[in-house]
Amino acid sequence: MGSPLPPGPEPGRGTMKPVRTSQALQRELGGRYVLQRELGRGGMGIVFLARETALDRPVALKVLPAAKSYGRFRERFFHEARIVARLSHDHIVPIYAVDQAGPFVYYTMKFIEGESLYHRIMAQGPLSPAEAARILRDVAFAVDYAHQQGVIHRDLKPHNILMEARTGKAMVTDFGIAVALGEEPPAGAGAIEGTYNYATPSSWPVSRWTRGATCTRWGSPGTSWPPRSCRSTGRPGR
């Protein structure tokens, strides 16, 4: 991972002017990476398809917007990078590098040519029993390995499972709220973690709604027991 990166700007200092993140980021990256298109975005980053010029290979580049490159946001972003960097498994998307370009912090991952399980189901409808079992097996292998390394994902859902077009294998990604056993959680971690429709009872504060719950919506690896919306419509929850 290299030496720690310098602290980011404080709120209100060094934040971006109203300009597209991709344009500003490309200027800061120079010729090291060439951004090609946006793949997706969430609360903790934007993911681009980029080409790493030195090795002439495609990568997925996840960047923390400049306006969030400080304090707890920055800490959580690097927390995710550190978590994934310790994992090496055929069904977990690997990280290549983590770095800083101007006000941006980012890391690069293997680019998976394909689609998310969420988009697969939305486009093609319910999976066949055989395909569901195969995907479940791949995810279970990945999660079991992560658990052996002391890492708990905590946000398994169809959106975070990528289906590689060439091989058909499922690969787990987005460890943004993962925890490593024995380590302190990143600053700013809230009491409620994960995505509501897929969160396990243990992710929520104990209440009369969750007390006594002994199973999860997703089963052991996170995909075998879909939420009510999926059971009734054949489509995953959002």
Confidence at residue 231, expressed as pLDDT on a 0 to 100 scale: 41
189 pLDDT more than 80? no
Q: CB of 63 within 8 A of CB of 25? A: yes
| Averaged pLDDT of the chain | 75
What residues act catalytically? 155
CB contact at 8 A, 27 and 16: no
Residue 118 has pLDDT above 80, yes or no: yes
N-term to C-term CA, the chain: 34
pLDDT recorded at residue 228:
41
Nearest residue to 89 via CA among 44, 33, 143: 143
Task: Please count the CA atoms within 13 angstroms of the CA of 57 that sit on its side-chain side.
Answer: 11
DSSP letter at 108?
Answer: E
Sign of the alpha-carbon torsion through 8, 13, 19, 23: negative
Q: Work out whether strand 45-52 and strand 33-42 pair parallel, antiparallel, or are unpaired.
A: antiparallel
Q: What pLDDT was estimated at residue 220?
A: 40
Alpha helices by DSSP H, listed for the chain, are: 21-29, 71-85, 117-124, 129-148, 228-233
Task: Give the domains, in start order, of the chain with CATH numbers.
Answer: 21-110 (3.30.200.20), 114-172+190-231 (1.10.510.10)
* % of residues, the chain, pLDDT over 70: 63
pLDDT single digits (tens) 73-113: 788 788 778 888 889 999 999 989 989 898 898 999 999 99
> What is the value of pTM for the model shown?
0.70
Ranges of beta strands (E only) in 22-68 are 33-42, 45-52, 57-64
- The answer to whether 113 and 166 are in contact (CB under 8 A) is yes
